[in-house]
Chain A
Amino acid sequence: MRDFSDEELERYSRHIILQDVGIEGQEKIANSKVLVIGAGGLGSPVALYLAAAGVGEIGIVDGDVVDLSNLQRQVIHTTVDVNVPKVLSAKAKMEAINPNVKVTVYQKFLDASNILDIVKGYDFVIDGTDNFSSKFLINDACVLANVPYSHGGILRFGGQTMTIKPNESACYACVFDSPPPANAIPTCSSAGILGAVAGMLGTIQAAEALKYIVGVGEPLYNRLLTFDAKSMNFRNVNFKKNPKCRVCGGEGIKEIRDYEAVVCEAKL
């Protein structure tokens, strides 16, 4: 049993008081490793909340630098961080919130060549990417490595998320099969985003990660949560694991390959 210091007991007191978390739950959090892919609109709140919660090790992946247009929603970065690599900017904020957390940075974009090795070392993965090819790549890698993860996506006023426990619950490909054709993806001029929506969805993903780590509640397995911030309607759409799923079905995938990248310049 880990012996929390007085500083830690006080820092995490509001977790520990929760009957469903308690000392045991906090200890699980402290012993967990979470990988956050993307240090953007979704990755910002996720990284901040996971660091604050005391997740023992957090890996954060992003190959980009901070752009002035990011700051409208990517709340982990500040104005002075413009042109600073996103992972370094994020790491500094996470460590400032909670020096007890170990942050590992991957200043790169993930592809078929590197994703599996990175994902393997973590207990849970957050998908905070802004493009379909990355989302499918992450799904493939997590299924292959058998690492649960949270899928998330946002556009304009809406968002969607589901939590995937590979080989047990429906995976991203069970629901969507494969990336949409290039012409179906919103054009860069139409792909705006209300900054707060990124925060809404990112915090849901962070909560899902913590629920999974502590082992409490019902993660968003086999259901896609969607919401529209304009009407503020939330929906759960239920799915079942597809036995013939291209990725996690009977045949399934055996190796990682890259999907054709169609990245919007607007960068969600």
Chain B
Amino acid sequence: MSHYIIPQLVYDDLEVFKKNHADFLAGTLDELTFKTMRVPFGVYEQREANTFMVRIKLAGGILTPTQLLTLADLAEKYAHEAIHITTRGGAQLHYVKIEDIIDIITTLHSIGLSGRGGGGNTVRNITADPLAGTAPDEVFDVSPYALALTTKMLEQKDSFALPRKFKITFSGSEADRGYATIHDVGFIAKIENGVKGFKLFVAGGMGAKSRVGSKFLDFVPDTEVFLYAQAIKQVFDQNGNRKNKHAARLRFLIEELGMDEFRRLVNVEIEAIKAKGDWELPIVEIERTIGNTESEPFNVPASISKWWNRYVYAQKQAGLYGCKVPVHLGDIHFNHARALANALLPFGEDVLRFTGDQNLYIRNLTAPQMASLHDILQHFSKDVVRPTLFGDMVACTGAATCQLGIARPRGAVDAIQKRLSKLLDERDYDALQGFKIHLSGCPNSCGKHLIGDLGFFGKVQRNEGYSYPAYNVVAGTRTSGEGTVFAQKAGDVAAFHLPAFVEEVLDTWLKHVKKYESFADWIDDGGLKIVEEISKKYVEIPSFNDDKNPYFDYNAVELFSLKGRGVGECSAGMYDLIEADKKALKEALEKEEKDFELIRLLSARMLLVTRGEDARDKAGVLKAFKTHFIDTTLLNAYFGTMLEGDADEKSIELAEEVMKLYASMDHTLKFAKEKELAAAAEVKEEKAVHFKDLSGVACPMNFVKTKMELSKIGSGEVLEILLDDGAPIDNVPKSVAGEGHKVEATTKEGNGWRVRIVKK
């Protein structure tokens, strides 16, 4: 077996999805409902409206040359010619048209790949050590476990409606190349008393409130992998925070429950699963077609030795070699993918991996076979002929396509590489073999900045009233089954100066590299201070009138702004801006000789970003403030009078009022008053839908309460209720219908059901 098995359940779900897709195209299904259908199939909308991305599960990053061929075909036909490798070793097709979605999914199914659980609040792609099955230091091959667990998880209905996404991985050794210590559930291979098994970590993750995983058990026998993963998933399913998706991941639940209570709940679930049976994970070792490994000793030709030394490694199996193919930003052109797939076809099925560092790995080849690929790989990306430093750069897609992005890290990577590539003859970047530079466009860690030697995540800075793209710098991560440490904050830099900053940090590190075991060791031994000092040189930019370039992000044709950015978890970038104005405003208020003009300007500007406004001059700020805060009645009209003419001491009142407003803002950038207004408007405009959450309410009280709610509304009005699975959903709708009301719709929601009732 070299890939996971798609269960019937997924095919059934596809049939439903096909129908919804047709309805959506016909205009009879609304966008929001369709969204809830497509996201669990791994179909996301890109920042550009009506442009979609299809995410494909590759358990353990495993795919066959045949599958790669088909992906190449799909990329050519539907996806702007590229296959994208994700930061979790899956595949993505970008710029897909909505009409083509079903063709793509159907084709993927025909080659044994699915996007089910690719996105949304599901069990996500199960990953593994990129070197699994080949690494000299590994305890045993963990790939079969990633495959078998994927198959098993796809079969579970509850894998697709969790409180939030749920990520599982396997590492083959303490080096933790699968990052078990920063996954929701992470397994690290070990053998105890001759029994295969795993050290189990839980509740790690990066993003809002990044957290290193806690060791849950020192040893789980390999037969119990599903048992534990499922039990933890069930505890998450039942207790996770569904109301606030920003605090929903398993790491938040554990913080809330405490480890002891969490353990207790997991053990209860384990007993329940055991009682039900069918929890043992059947493991099928991966078959290998392996050529003659006892060939003549191979002498690497001088013409390819540089590449060989950088990227080819000897596997634990004598005579076999693996090779890392650096893929520039994870994008493979379909032509290159096709050429490689065809070249690999004769060598068997288990010769390829996509990996979380957005690269591609080739494996299980003899030395001559590997050498024969050199020419094909040379064309693969420009990184192939350069030191590993280049290919190891990771960037999320950033603001170019992501609705949450602040900065555009892909463009930044290009710029860094351009600068460093000019220095290739002067600098020995091969001495930095394995050095990782990771970039995220916002505080969400899609670019894994916290586990880069040098990491960056996007933020907004402002100079003379103009926003410009910038990055937080972090440095010095360590990954290990003995204790993973995230990179720590090491300053801020303007995006514009990023290449120069990286160059200087690397130059400095090159002077020390021989004295230290790792970059993290240097960072801990005074390096952090040095990096901080360097960053200070690169955070400020010239005035807008002198040089406008720093106010554009890389590959952007418009001035940097947050316009078009969706409201998401990474509103953090906006907070930076607001806090900066707030600080300035406070200082202005504390001065003896008050500059009322400045106070008025800062007060009016401080919260404008929350409305997507980026006004620059005074008149623009005051006008936008009036539009968004006075005309909307968020602030009393009295404050509107202060916006005209010269500012006076009344500006202080305005400042206080704006501060109060800010204090009432929640993480969705909504003010308390705004919510009241919205609620009032809702009541006024549509008596529409009344709602009562009756989950957790047993029979017959759920029916009693339903009747109570119905008695409050008028004939023809709609009541929606949430009911638990089991007796409640079996009985209440019948009883409601029995009383003459119309039960319009019953839809699965979380663990329970949403029932829509029209009162008779």
A22 adjacent to chain B (CB < 8 Å)? yes
Docked complex Cα distance between A257 and B738 (Å)? 52
What 0/1 pattern do residues 704 to 719 of B give for CB contact below 8 A with A? 1101101110000000
Q: A19-B738, A19-B739 are in contact. Are A10 and B711 (CB under 8 A)?
A: no
B701–A23 CB distance below 8 A: no
| Cα-based distance from A24 to B735 in the complex (angstroms) | 17
Asked if A13 is at the interface of the complex by the 8 Å CB criterion, the answer is yes
Beyond A19-B738, A19-B739, whether A1 also contacts B704 by CB under 8 A is no
Q: Judge whether B262 is part of the interface by a CB distance below 8 angstroms.
A: no
CB distance from B83 to the nearest CB of A (A): 57
CB-based contact A23/B739 at 8 Å: no
Instruction: Let me know if B704 and A10 touch, CB within 8 A.
Output: yes
Contact between B700 and A13 (Cβ–Cβ < 8 Å)?
yes
The smallest beta-carbon distance between B738 and chain A, in angstroms, is 7
Residues on A with C-beta less than 8 A from B707 are 16-17, 22-23
The distance from the CB of A215 to the nearest CB of chain B, in whole angstroms, is: 16
Taking CB atoms, residues of chain B closer than 8 Å to A27 are: 711
Nearest CB in chain B: distance from A230 CB, A? 39
Residues on A with C-beta less than 8 A from B705 are: 9
**B738 and A23 contacting across the interface, CB-CB below 8 Å:** no
Majority SS of interface residues in chain B?
Answer: helix
Taken together as a complex, chains A and B put the C-alpha atoms of A23 and B710 apart, in Å, by: 9
- Find out whether the CB atom of A17 lies under 8 angstroms from the CB atom of B708: no
How far does the alpha carbon of A9 sit from the alpha carbon of B710 in the complex, in Å?
A: 13
| A13 CA to B704 CA, complexed, in Å | 6
B680-706: contact bitstring with A at CB < 8 Å (1 yes, 0 no)? 000000000000000000001101110
Q: B704, B705, B712, B738: which has the most chain A beta carbons within 10 Å?
A: B704
> Please, which residue of chain A has its CB at the minimum distance from the CB of B710?
A23
Q: In the complex, which residues 1-26 of chain A have their Cβ closer than 8 Å to any Cβ of chain B?
A: 1, 3-4, 9-10, 13, 16-17, 19, 22-24
A10 touches B712 (CB 8 A): no
Residue of A nearest to B711 (CB): A23
B181 to chain A, nearest CB (A): 46
Chain A contact surface mostly: helix
User: Taking the nearest CB of chain B, how far is it from the CB of A95, in angstroms?
Assistant: 24
Enumerate chain A residues within 8 angstroms of B710, measured Cβ to Cβ. 23
Q: Which of A13, A17, A19, A22 contacts B711 (CB 8 A)?
A: A22
Q: Are B708 and A4 in contact (CB under 8 A)?
A: yes
Of the listed residues A4, A9, A23, A27, the one surrounded by the most CB atoms of chain B closer than 10 A to its CB is A23
Q: Which residues of A contact B703 (CB under 8 A)?
A: 17
Count the A residues whose beta carbon is within 8 Å of the partner chain — how many? 13
Q: Mark A24-47, 1 if CB is under 8 A from B, else 0.
A: 100100000000000000000000
Residues of B within 8 A of A4 (CB): 708
What are the interface flags for B280-296 relative to A under an 8 Å C-beta threshold, 1 for contact and 0 otherwise? 00000000000000000
Closest CB of chain B to A50's CB: distance in Å?
21
| Bound: A27/B710 CA distance, A | 14
Query: Which of A180-223 touch B at CB < 8 Å?
Result: none
Complex: chain B residue closest to A2, CB-CB: B711
Q: Are A17 and B712 in contact, CB atoms less than 8 angstroms apart?
A: no
In the complex, A87→B711 CA distance in Å? Answer: 36
Contact pick for A1, options B711, B735, B739, CB 8 Å: B711
Query: Which residue on A lies nearest to B739, using beta carbons?
Result: A19
Which of the listed residues A3, A9, A16 has the most CB atoms from chain B within 10 Å of its own CB?
A: A16
Q: Is the CB of A9 within 8 A of B711?
A: no
Q: Is the CB of A10 within 8 A of B708?
A: no
Q: Which of A3, A10, A22, A24 contacts B701 (CB 8 A)?
A: A10
Contact B738 A17 (CB under 8 A): no
Distance between B21 CB and nearest chain A CB, rounded to angstroms = 42
Interface residues of A in 61-100 (CB under 8 A from B): none
With A17-B700, A17-B703: A24-B708 Cβ-Cβ less than 8 Å: no
Shortest beta-carbon distance from B734 to chain A in Å: 12
Minimum distance in angstroms from B241 CB to a CB of chain A: 24
Given A9-B701, A10-B701, residue A16 in contact with residue B739 (CB < 8 A): no
The answer on a CB contact under 8 Å between B700 and A23 is no
In the assembled complex, which residues on chain B have CB atoms less than 8 Å from the CB atom of A24? Answer: 711
How far in angstroms is the closest Cβ of chain B from A100?
A: 16
Whether A9 lies near B700 (C-beta < 8 A) is no
Residues of B close to A23: CB separation below 8 A: 707-708, 710-711
Measured CB to CB, the closest approach of chain B to A246, in angstroms, equals 45
* A18 smallest CB distance to B (angstroms): 10
Instruction: List, in ascending order, chain B residues with CB within 8 A of A16's CB.
Output: 704, 707-708
The 9 closest A-B pairs by CB, nearest first: A23-B711, A13-B704, A16-B704, A23-B707, A9-B704, A19-B739, A23-B708, A1-B712, A16-B707
| Known A9-B704, A16-B704, A23-B711; 14 more pairs at CB < 8 Å | A1-B712, A9-B705, A13-B700, A13-B704, A16-B707, A17-B700, A17-B703, A17-B707, A19-B738, A19-B739, A22-B707, A23-B707, A24-B711, A27-B711
Interfacial residues, chain A to chain B (CB-CB below 8 A): 1, 3-4, 9-10, 13, 16-17, 19, 22-24, 27
Name 25 A/B residue pairs within 8 A (Cβ), A-sorted: A1-B711, A1-B712, A3-B708, A3-B712, A4-B708, A9-B705, A9-B708, A10-B704, A13-B700, A13-B701, A13-B704, A16-B704, A17-B700, A17-B707, A17-B735, A19-B738, A19-B739, A22-B711, A22-B739, A23-B707, A23-B708, A23-B710, A23-B711, A24-B711, A27-B711
